[in-house]
């Protein structure tokens, strides 16, 4: 088949697979948002049928033949072209999917399905010994998968690549190490500061209906279009996308705390703006119609959540609005006190409740643990001790029980080794992108103070969103900021922001 | 292949097709209930991809081979057995699906997709001439489909059979004719009565949140289990089912009228109880795990809506509750006045707004029109005149414009010839079933007066629901009531009920 025809057929197949994936995403959204409990068993059958069909279509040798017919042709000679990017990424996924033996995939799916329940019980009972044999199995499976994928350097490279294509452990570890050292130092200064923000300001009754209204108002101001989306409630908030024109966000409301839904909504709207900014009308269903990586995705949500949503300029505009809406709780509160309250830093055991500073330390710790587990340097039985030692070192806290320590996250029971680092990569990318946006948009602060976030959204769309997966994360970062990923922009941002709040 | 193995494989295939159908139902529910406008184009691609996959799987010659391997075997010797019913109905659908040439199906889909918009415009502009050429095309297509299916007697038989398997025009026409004559007579008496119910009682402000609460309360009392369902808002209310454990209903609220959502919810909950009463845990995905026919389905919704939900015993229990909930609107209203208000009969132009008595006349008229159109006895150009003449005769009203006359329904633009009669069949079956239930449950009225509807639900489950499509409608009716479908139970019920209300 001629390269052009092969490419067209490849794209047709890929779009069909993605359309089935979108169907699955609708079922998953419904599962999380609407489904009555009775529907769970049947829903599992529906999604596993679709997953099986998608997998079958994707590992069809026809896909491999089509790829071979295009690769090395003139059509992909320009490696920055859309065609080249699509072929590169389809090949990447095809090779990974087809390299895994069917028996291994089945064992992995079966083991992680069982392990999830075992983990939940072990965590509830704070009994690591119960979870340990499952961790042994899953680490073994993850190692076998890494071997099947193949890798340079260490096996963790093969796993992290599933979430952050092209990222290497060596590079990530280097940046993380610098971040960790500076963050521990920053945290020490914050802990010794005499400034103690009054968090009770945001921990008092906030009417849920009003929280929803306020969240929607902010999402709209960010440029989130409710004609092409919805905001619903979910226990574990997420953003999902069913193709062009339908990108939905979720949040959860705490009637006695403002932060959860407020910053949760901004975070998810950040993810959604990325999806909405990709040119899906043209590229839906192909890699160029998808996000560059989980790290880049997280950079969008975290930039909006923290660098915009927890900034002074943002609240210069929205604090008076919030005071009007939540009169009973915010009447008479000073701007600086509110700003400090939403930016309180306090080391704590649970990652998902962590503040902006300590969140990254949680990730660094997990990254180091995972990497060592994959290398066999930390044995499953030694996980609690290793965890607790690192935790003491980075946070200054003694872990009292494993349920709030090494068993707190679902990821390991689900076999998601290599996923955690994307959370911190997101923060680091976010700071580097945001520093560039501030250079390119000199009046950005003034705009935010006027409640105008659309110039930033346009900057992100132009520089990041619209490219989809055309460039891998590393290259995208160099294109946008003129430099490789560095810990500096984030640490500059953190030191400046928290130095001002905590006065050091 | 041995019959037993062939049957097992046939059921496996059928279940997989049905599971895909359930995925499609989730997408469709989301479309009607949640989807932002921007999602429409992509959703159409998703559902048409799934529809295509379902169709391909269903017309696979493998299905025909499996059927042939089972048919005439001992496995289906007992024609009342579950195996025989499944094989009978899979064969019925397989033959119908495979008899239609692909080109005809494609022309039908394309034409009706376009016709829908043309019809909407023509109706809005009250310009039948605009719709006429589309009606010409669709009638031609429907006739060609009937020829492709094959039929005894007249082509309409082949079409009606799609919705009411096994029903014949001759039998339906006979019952309908008797109903129509008696209904016109009954309507005359009602029109001449000096009793004029005060409908303003139900046409005043009714708080929507309270309507929702009241509707949910009644649905729960009927036995609708919210652990296996939800009640949402939809512009065109419907019930849907995603397999065992998830059967959802929808309604729409009019803040100034009680009836719409109240009886709409009871109607849809009636449909849902049928779906929930089928033994889907065992039979999901096979004909025995599905409803017997649209007519039987409608018998369940209409029985609950009218024979229960608009009855005196029901309101003996729920009227005091309603008075408590809707204090401002129902305070001081007499029971008899409320009962008369929710049972007001008044001929009007629009089918979907019709009362219990005139609703059937709307259907009779459409049935006669459709049948004559399929026979070529009424040409498309003559549809308005023929419609208006019949309307005058049955309703005593002059149709002033076609938008409120022959163009009011979506069905013809969608090519759904043969669908309408199932609405009236539903009412007639409902009355015959309900009369039997009253015989079998002598204290039914007393139970309803005590707010207890579960004995009736159990009777329906035992006699009707649990059989699914094991028996066709006609046979089911004979098994349940010991007699073939007759106009008598419904006319007895109508004459008694409305004679009492209108005092003749």
Q: Using CA atoms of B250, B252, B253, B259 in order, give the dihedral in degrees to the nearest 10.
A: -90
Q: Collapsing DSSP states into helix, strand and coil, what is residue A406?
A: coil
Distance CA B390, CA B378 (A): 13
A449 is catalytic: no
The pLDDT of residue B337 is: 98
Which residues lie below 8 Å from residue A233, measured CB to CB, with a gap of 6+? A33, A250, A251, A252, A253
Hey, of B22, B23, B226, B241, which one would you mutate to test binding to chain A, going by the most A CBs within 10 A of its CB? B23
Q: Collapsing DSSP states into helix, strand and coil, what is residue B79?
A: coil
Of A333, A361, A328, the C-alpha closest to A347 is A361
Q: Looking at the DSSP assignment, which residues form a beta bridge with residue B247?
A: B241
The pLDDT of residue B275 is: 98
Q: How confident is the model at residue A350 (pLDDT cuts 50, 70, 90)?
A: very high
Distance CA A229, CA A211 (A): 18
The Cα of A124 is separated from the nearest Cα of chain B by a number of Å equal to 25
Provide, as residue numbers in chain B, all residues whose Cβ is less than 8 Å from the Cβ of A26. 26-27, 30, 46
Are B362 and B391 spatial neighbours (Cβ–Cβ below 8 Å)? no
Q: What percent of chain A has pLDDT over 70?
A: 100
pLDDT digits (tens, 9 = 90+) for A216-255: 999 999 999 999 999 999 999 999 999 999 999 999 999 9
Residue with tokens 């007699």: B483
Nearest to A42 among B20, B37, B244 (CB): B244
Provide, as residue numbers in chain B, all residues whose Cβ is less than 8 Å from the Cβ of A245. 36-42
Residue with tokens 């150009």: B381
Q: What percent of chain B has pLDDT over 90?
A: 99
Q: Looking at the DSSP assignment, which residues form a beta bridge with residue A239?
A: A249
Distance CA A460, CA A271 (A): 12
Nearest to B46 among A23, A39, A41 (CB): A23
Q: How confident is the model at residue B361 (pLDDT cuts 50, 70, 90)?
A: very high
Strands B231-233 and B247-251: parallel
Question: Average pLDDT over chain A, rounded to whole?
Answer: 97
Residue A45's closest chain B neighbor by CA? B19
- Taking an 8 Å cut-off on Cβ atoms, the answer to whether B46 and A229 are in contact is no
Hey, of A36, A53, A226, which one would you mutate to test binding to chain B, going by the most B CBs within 10 A of its CB? A36
Instruction: Give residue B285's region: left, alpha or beta (phi > 0; psi -120 to 50).
Output: left
Q: How confident is the model at residue A301 (pLDDT cuts 50, 70, 90)?
A: very high
Q: Collapsing DSSP states into helix, strand and coil, what is residue A304?
A: helix
- Taking an 8 Å cut-off on Cβ atoms, the answer to whether B229 and A38 are in contact is yes
Distance CA A456, CA A467 (A): 16
Q: What percent of chain A has pLDDT over 90?
A: 99
The pLDDT of residue B481 is: 98
**Burial of residue A79, with CB atoms counted within 10 A of its CB: 0-12 exposed, 13-18 middle, 19 or more buried:** exposed
Sheet of A247-251: strand order equals A231-233, A247-251, A239-241
Residue A16's closest chain B neighbor by CA? B49
The pLDDT of residue B327 is: 96
Q: How confident is the model at residue B205 (pLDDT cuts 50, 70, 90)?
A: very high
DSSP A61-86: HHHHHHHHHHTTSGGG-STTSHHHHH
DSSP B334-379: -HHHHHHHTT-----S-GGG--HHHHHHHHHHHHHHHHHHHHTSS-
Q: Which two tokens stand for residue A496?
A: 């400046």
Q: Collapsing DSSP states into helix, strand and coil, what is residue B494?
A: helix
DSSP A223-259: T--GGG--EEE-SS--EEE-STT-EEEEE--BTTBSH
Are A504 and A193 spatial neighbours (Cβ–Cβ below 8 Å)? yes
Cα angle for residues A411, A416, A417 (degrees, 5° grid): 105
What's chain A's length in residues? Answer: 504
The pLDDT of residue B236 is: 92
Cα angle for residues A301, A306, A312 (degrees, 5° grid): 140
Nearest to B39 among A39, A53, A242 (CB): A242
pLDDT digits (tens, 9 = 90+) for B34-52: 999 999 999 999 999 999 9
Q: Using CA atoms of B333, B337, B343, B344 in order, give the dihedral in degrees to the nearest 10.
A: -110
Which residues lie below 8 Å from residue B378, measured CB to CB, with a gap of 6+? B369, B372, B386
Once rounded to an integer, what is the mean pLDDT over residues B58-79? 97
Of A361, A372, A424, the C-alpha closest to A185 is A361
Provide, as residue numbers in chain A, all residues whose Cβ is less than 8 Å from the Cβ of B226. 36
Tell me which residues of chain B, numbers 5 to 64, contact chain A at a CB-CB cutoff of 8 Å: 16, 19-20, 22-23, 26-27, 29-30, 34-43, 45-46, 49-50, 53
Are A419 and A161 spatial neighbours (Cβ–Cβ below 8 Å)? no
Are B111 and B137 spatial neighbours (Cβ–Cβ below 8 Å)? yes
Question: Average pLDDT over chain B, rounded to whole?
Answer: 97
pLDDT digits (tens, 9 = 90+) for B419-433: 999 999 999 999 999
Q: Which two tokens stand for residue B504?
A: 């003749």
The Cα of B437 is separated from the nearest Cα of chain A by a number of Å equal to 29
- DSSP for residue B73: S
Once rounded to an integer, what is the mean pLDDT over residues A324-348? 97
Q: Which two tokens stand for residue A418?
A: 């290599």
Of B180, B354, B331, B348, the C-alpha closest to B259 is B354
Distance CA B494, CA B502 (A): 11
Distance CA A425, CA A360 (A): 9
Cα angle for residues B300, B301, B304 (degrees, 5° grid): 85
The pLDDT of residue B309 is: 98
Reported ipTM exceeds the 0.90 cut: yes
Once rounded to an integer, what is the mean pLDDT over residues A445-465? 98
Are A25 and A58 spatial neighbours (Cβ–Cβ below 8 Å)? no
Q: Collapsing DSSP states into helix, strand and coil, what is residue B240?
A: strand
- Taking an 8 Å cut-off on Cβ atoms, the answer to whether B39 and A228 are in contact is yes
What's chain B's length in residues? Answer: 504
Once rounded to an integer, what is the mean pLDDT over residues B305-318? 98
Cα–Cα separations (whole angstroms), residue B325 to A63, B206, B209, B312, B486:
62, 10, 11, 19, 40
**Residue B121 contacts A, CB cutoff 8 Å:** no
Once rounded to an integer, what is the mean pLDDT over residues B294-306? 98
Provide, as residue numbers in chain A, all residues whose Cβ is less than 8 Å from the Cβ of B30. 26, 29-30
Of A177, A156, A180, the C-alpha closest to A168 is A156
Q: Residues A83, A89, A164, A268: which is the catalytic one?
A: A268
Q: Where are the domains of chain A?
A: 1-99
Q: Which two tokens stand for residue B359?
A: 């609703």
Once rounded to an integer, what is the mean pLDDT over residues B192-211? 97
Q: Please, what's the largest Cα pairwise distance for chain A? A: 73
pLDDT digits (tens, 9 = 90+) for A28-65: 999 999 999 999 999 999 999 999 999 999 999 999 99
Distance CA B12, CA B4 (A): 12
Of B467, B93, B419, the C-alpha closest to B292 is B467
The pLDDT of residue A377 is: 97
The pLDDT of residue B91 is: 98
Distance CA A47, CA A50 (A): 5
Cα–Cα separations (whole angstroms), residue B110 to B104, B106, B116, B415:
10, 6, 10, 11
Are B144 and B136 spatial neighbours (Cβ–Cβ below 8 Å)? no
Once rounded to an integer, what is the mean pLDDT over residues A134-147? 97
Specify the DSSP element, H or E, that contains A177: helix A169-192
Residue B18's closest chain A neighbor by CA? A46
Phi, psi of B239 (to 5 degrees): -115, 140
**Residue A246 contacts B, CB cutoff 8 Å:** yes
Provide, as residue numbers in chain B, all residues whose Cβ is less than 8 Å from the Cβ of A285. none
pLDDT digits (tens, 9 = 90+) for B383-406: 999 999 999 999 999 999 999 999
Q: How confident is the model at residue B369 (pLDDT cuts 50, 70, 90)?
A: very high
């Amino acid at each position: 088949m001629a390269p052009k025809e092969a490419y067209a057929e490849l794209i047709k197949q890929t779009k069909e697979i993605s359309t089935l994936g979108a169907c699955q995403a609708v079922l998953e959204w419904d599962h999380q948002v609407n489904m009555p409990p009775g529907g769970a068993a049947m829903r599992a059958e529906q999604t596993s049928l679709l997953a099986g069909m998608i997998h079958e279509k994707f590992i069809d040798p026809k896909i491999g033949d089509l790829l071979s017919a295009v690769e090395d042709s003139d059509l992909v000679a320009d490696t920055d072209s859309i065609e080249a990017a699509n072929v590169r990424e389809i090949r990447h996924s095809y090779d990974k999917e087809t390299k895994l033996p069917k028996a291994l995939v089945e064992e992995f799916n079966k083991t992680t399905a069982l392990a999830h329940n075992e983990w939940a019980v072990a965590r509830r009972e704070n009994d690591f010994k119960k979870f340990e044999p499952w961790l042994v199995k899953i680490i073994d499976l993850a190692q076998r998968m890494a071997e099947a994928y193949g890798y340079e350097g260490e096996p963790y490279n093969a796993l992290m690549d599933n979430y952050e294509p092209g990222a290497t452990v060596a590079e990530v570890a280097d940046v993380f190490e610098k971040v960790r050292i500076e963050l521990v130092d920053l945290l020490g200064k914050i802990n010794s500061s005499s400034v103690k923000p009054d968090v009770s300001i945001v921990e008092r009754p906030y009417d849920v209906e009003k929280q929803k209204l306020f969240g929607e108002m902010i999402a709209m101001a960010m440029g989130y279009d409710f004609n092409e989306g919805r905001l619903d409630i979910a226990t574990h908030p997420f953003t999902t996308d069913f193709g062009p024109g339908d990108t939905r966000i979720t949040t959860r409301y705490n009637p006695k705390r403002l932060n959860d839904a407020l910053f949760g909504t901004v975070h998810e709207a950040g993810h959604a703006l990325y999806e909405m900014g990709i040119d899906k009308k043209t590229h839906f269903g192909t890699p160029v119609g998808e996000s560059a990586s989980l790290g880049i995705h997280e950079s969008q949500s975290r930039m909006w959540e923290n660098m915009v949503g927890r900034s002074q300029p943002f609240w210069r505009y929205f604090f008076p609005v919030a005071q009007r809406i939540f009169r009973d709780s915010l009447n008479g509160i000073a701007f600086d006190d509110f700003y400090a309250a939403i930016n309180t830093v306090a080391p704590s055991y649970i990652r998902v409740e962590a503040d902006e500073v300590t969140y990254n330390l949680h990730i660094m710790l997990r990254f180091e643990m995972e990497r060592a587990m994959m290398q066999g340097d930390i044995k499953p039985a030694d996980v609690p001790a290793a965890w607790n030692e690192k935790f003491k070192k980075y946070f200054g806290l003694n872990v009292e029980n494993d349920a709030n320590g090494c068993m707190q996250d679902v990821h390991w029971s689900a076999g998601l080794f290599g996923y955690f680092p994307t959370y911190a990569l997101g923060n680091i990318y976010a700071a580097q992108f945001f520093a560039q946006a501030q250079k390119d948009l000199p009046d950005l602060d003034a705009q935010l103070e006027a409640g105008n976030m659309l110039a930033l959204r346009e900057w992100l769309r132009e520089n990041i969103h619209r490219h989809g997966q055309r460039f891998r994360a590393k290259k995208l970062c160099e294109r946008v900021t003129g430099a490789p990923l560095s810990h500096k922009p984030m640490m500059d941002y953190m030191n400046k922001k928290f130095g001002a709040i905590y006065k050091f």
